Structure 1
Amino acid sequence: MTEQQLPESWQMVKFGDIAKHISKRVEPSETDLEIYVGLEHLDPDSLKVKRHGVPSDVAGQKLLVKKGQIIFGKRRAYQRKVAVADWDCICSAHAMVLEPINKWIVSDYLPVFMQSDEFMSRAISISEGSLSPTIKWKVLENQTFLIPSRDSQLDCVTRYKTSTRVLEKIDECVASAKVMALAVLNEKIKKLANKKYMLSDISKVIRGASPRPKGDPRYYGGSVPRLMTEDMNRDGKFVYPKIDSLTIEGAKKSRLIKKGTLVLICSGGPTTVGKPSILGEDACIHDGIFALADLDESVCRPEFLYYLLLKNQSVMNKNATHGGVFVNLTTDILKKMELEIPPLSDQDSILTILNNIDEIIHTNSKKIVDLKIIRSS
């Protein structure tokens, strides 16, 4: 689009004209700040930092962030992680710290614009590297974007904030439903469970595997779906591989798991380790994932085991090994985990209640997705 074709009061600008890159380094052991924000603490498509760590969790230089500045995940931009800091803190060096330049834009418009499909598509396209694609500021600052008039920017920000408030209310409904589901499960198990089983008594614990070397075209990029931990960070009982695949030769060096198998995250952030899902199709699994294969269904329904694992996620996290940012759940810990399991007939009656609650969660989660699409547009 030429200058003559631009809508009235719109501007074609370089990103470096609307955003300033801040790169002040901090040693976690030397700062008085109390909050550390890693990329694992940021949620896709949310400008709110809803959780965080502390500087003692990490080592190595991090970035200084002032309240109101933008934290943008420059590594793996496809995860769409952009947030505005609510306090002074330090953040991962795999992020960029930015603040708006007000010559062309309203301050609140920059983070909203950075969540747009237009910005994110460009960010992904200029990322460099195959395993952990990363954006360089010198490349990003020279990217040109079409920016609307200030009145349009203010209107966009108002609409964004309104839709965000609605999203937060629906999120609260989903969170309440999840609490209700776990309360029902706890009450029913307390009344009906008549026997304890170790997880290894009822299933085979299999850890995923990644072909080496990573990125080798002999093994990666084929037709065999591969489940990643990023796939499992999405809400929902069932999980499907979306972002990676292996060749047939690669699959031979991984772990091919059958549809309907329980899978859970065994390595990652403290809020994700132990998170269970049911595999929605045959797929290989990443080495940060466990599969519970060959479940003895004369003892436990697969869906009931899903809810039991969800109930015990905090226990798994507590028993896991904690090393800095990452938490690791070992095969031995998982095998020895004890579960109280009621008879099959009671499981079925409990599942009826839990599935009804899950339908409420699913309906509202779909509303969240639809509203995010509207907000993005």
Structure 2
Amino acid sequence: MSKVLLGDVAVEHKETCKGSKDGYPIVGLEHLIPEEITLTAWDEGSENTFSKMFRKGNVLFGRRRAYLKKAAVAPFDGICSGDITVIEAKPDRILPELLPFIIQNDDLFDFAVGKSAGSLSPRVKWEHLKNYEFELPDMEKQKELAELLWAMDNTKKSYQKLIAATDELVKSQFIEMFGDPVKNPFGWPTMTLDQATKEIVSGQCLNGDAGKLQPGQKAVLKVSAVTYGSFDANEYKVLRDTKQITKGVYPQKGDLLFSRANTREYVGATVLIDQDYPELMLPDKLWKLIFKHEIMPMFAKQFLSHPEIRKVLSSMATGTSGSMYNISMEKLKRLEIIVPNINQQKEYIHFVEQSDKSKFELEKALSELTATYKRIIAENLG
């Protein structure tokens, strides 16, 4: 076991496509999934300005907003965005199959964040990334680790497929009971979101710093705290100056939070809060939707998270690539929501809750496996 720098065992693959792009898959930053080591999405035949080449087996590292933890192995030759650093292993120094796990780990991402420059869209350069230091075992141990980690990654994907199948079942049940939420083929009564809500409460624009929240302190949530169906209470910035607070909007049990400003992928995301968070405040980019008695919050969440409604919300958002996308309060209030009777909503919610119990057990197993996976990387490649 010896300490090495990333630049000792890998190089930045610098190759430009000078001829025709026909036949090459196109990979943008949006195709890299946070904390997923395999590439599962790309474009083919689309118009683009990319010219950076990558080769099968290279690691594609998302150098913009490294905190998103995007890095994946290329399963083929292709062309990618300039916001992706293409990293190639030196086979005589490191097993190429092990390199992705060194790059796709929390310690390296923390290092990359610390070396990133820029305010709105921070980027890290290979010149800094190559100085990341870690422990590297001998080739025999590398082979053993790579086999173990890839086997664990395959098991993770099996759990993820089962979780995705559970989500699809919930969506199918929605269609069976209520039909397409946009076309409304069953002729349900409808309301605008303005009519269906008692209030839409906006948080406050607050300045905070990275750090661990201590007892007695307050923090403001980041927009990354809310994704579709998921809430991460650890995504926050600590408030050093509480005098800036003019109004405090806190997530409480039963609240439906709506991400009115986010990346293209997550703008319009909703999540139902399952406990009170008296120390966390909502930023101006997260809204709390408070519904009237005709609409149950869980039903509203499922409606707003439906793929067809997500398309509508995405079409409402304005923004440009590389920036936040925003949905205005005015546009959101005009969105129409179907209003089945309360008993039908309750019946559907009961189905969702039963599915969520199964999903919870799967997610728990996945979480434990992921923790073990990360511990093995930290102990052997830290």
Give the shorter-chain TM-score range.
Answer: 0.7 to 0.9
Query: Which residue does the alignment assign to 1:105?
Result: 94
Contact 1:62 1:92 in 2 (8 A): yes
1:164/1:216 Cα in 2 relative to 1: closer, same or farther (>3 Å)? closer
Contact 2:209 2:237 in 1 (8 A): no
Contact 1:200 1:336 in 2 (8 A): yes
- Match for residue 188 of structure 1 among 177, 182, 199: 177
- Are 2:7 and 1:13 equivalent residues in the alignment? no
Equivalent AA in structure 2 for residue 177 of structure 1? T
- Match for residue 300 of structure 1 among 295, 298, 302: 295
Is there any run of 5+ residues in structure 1 with no aligned partner, and where? 1-9
Contact 2:72 2:104 in 1 (8 A): no
Q: 2: distance between equivalents of 1:277 and 1:181?
A: 16
- Match for residue 311 of structure 2 among 295, 309, 314: 314
Equivalent AA in structure 2 for residue 295 of structure 1? F
Contact 2:318 2:327 in 1 (8 A): yes
1:254-293 residue CA offsets vs partner (Å, 9 max, x unmatched): 873442332223344444232211245354334544x243
Q: 2: distance between equivalents of 1:231 and 1:258?
A: 12
Contact 1:226 1:241 in 2 (8 A): no
1:78-126 residue CA offsets vs partner (Å, 9 max, x unmatched): 3322111223333343332110011211111111122234434443444
Aligned-pair CA distance for 1:58: 6.3
Q: 2: distance between equivalents of 1:125 and 1:325?
A: 20
Is there any run of 5+ residues in structure 2 with no aligned partner, and where? 180-184, 377-382
Query: Which residue does the alignment assign to 1:351?
Result: 349
* CA RMSD between the two structures: 3.5
1:26/1:166 Cα in 2 relative to 1: closer, same or farther (>3 Å)? same
- Match for residue 119 of structure 1 among 94, 108, 111: 108
Equivalent AA in structure 2 for residue 40 of structure 1? E
- Are 2:257 and 1:263 equivalent residues in the alignment? yes
- Are 2:31 and 1:41 equivalent residues in the alignment? yes
State the TM-score, normalized to the length of structure 1.
0.80
Query: Which residue does the alignment assign to 1:227?
Result: 221
Contact 1:174 1:365 in 2 (8 A): yes
Q: 2: distance between equivalents of 1:57 and 1:224?
A: 46
SS of 1:179's partner is: helix
- Are 2:63 and 1:67 equivalent residues in the alignment? no
Query: Which residue does the alignment assign to 1:3?
Result: none
1:58/1:197 Cα in 2 relative to 1: closer, same or farther (>3 Å)? farther
Q: 2: distance between equivalents of 1:271 and 1:76?
A: 15
Contact 1:42 1:82 in 2 (8 A): yes
Query: Which residue does the alignment assign to 1:373?
Result: 371
Q: 2: distance between equivalents of 1:338 and 1:244?
A: 34
Q: 1: distance between equivalents of 2:333 and 2:51?
A: 37
Query: Which residue does the alignment assign to 2:281?
Result: 284
1:51/1:333 Cα in 2 relative to 1: closer, same or farther (>3 Å)? farther
- Are 2:157 and 1:168 equivalent residues in the alignment? yes
1:16-48 residue CA offsets vs partner (Å, 9 max, x unmatched): 111101344679xx9546644333332222112
Equivalent AA in structure 1 for residue 233 of structure 2? Y
Contact 2:55 2:76 in 1 (8 A): yes
Query: Which residue does the alignment assign to 2:380?
Result: none
1:216/1:161 Cα in 2 relative to 1: closer, same or farther (>3 Å)? closer
Aligned-pair CA distance for 1:178: 0.6
Query: Which residue does the alignment assign to 1:7?
Result: none
Equivalent AA in structure 1 for residue 290 of structure 2? D
Contact 1:225 1:241 in 2 (8 A): no
Contact 2:251 2:282 in 1 (8 A): no
Equivalent AA in structure 1 for residue 130 of structure 2? E
Equivalent AA in structure 1 for residue 236 of structure 2? I
- Are 2:141 and 1:152 equivalent residues in the alignment? yes
Query: Which residue does the alignment assign to 1:330?
Result: 328
Q: 1: distance between equivalents of 2:228 and 2:356?
A: 15
1:267/1:361 Cα in 2 relative to 1: closer, same or farther (>3 Å)? same
Contact 1:264 1:277 in 2 (8 A): yes
Q: 1: distance between equivalents of 2:232 and 2:108?
A: 28
1:90/1:11 Cα in 2 relative to 1: closer, same or farther (>3 Å)? same
Question: Aligned runs of 1:46-57 on 2, under 5 Å?
Answer: 46-52=36-42
State the TM-score, normalized to the length of structure 2.
0.79
Contact 2:63 2:84 in 1 (8 A): yes
Question: Aligned runs of 1:239-278 on 2, under 5 Å?
Answer: 239-240=232-233, 242-246=235-239, 247-252=241-246, 256-259=249-252, 260-278=254-272
Counting matched residue pairs gives 357
Query: Which residue does the alignment assign to 2:339?
Result: 341
With 324-333 and 95-104 compared, the bigger mean Cα shift is at: 324-333
Q: 2: distance between equivalents of 1:36 and 1:112?
A: 23
Contact 1:58 1:325 in 2 (8 A): no
1:314-345 residue CA offsets vs partner (Å, 9 max, x unmatched): 33224544744665433333211111122223
Aligned-pair CA distance for 1:299: 1.1
Percent of aligned pairs with the same amino acid: 22
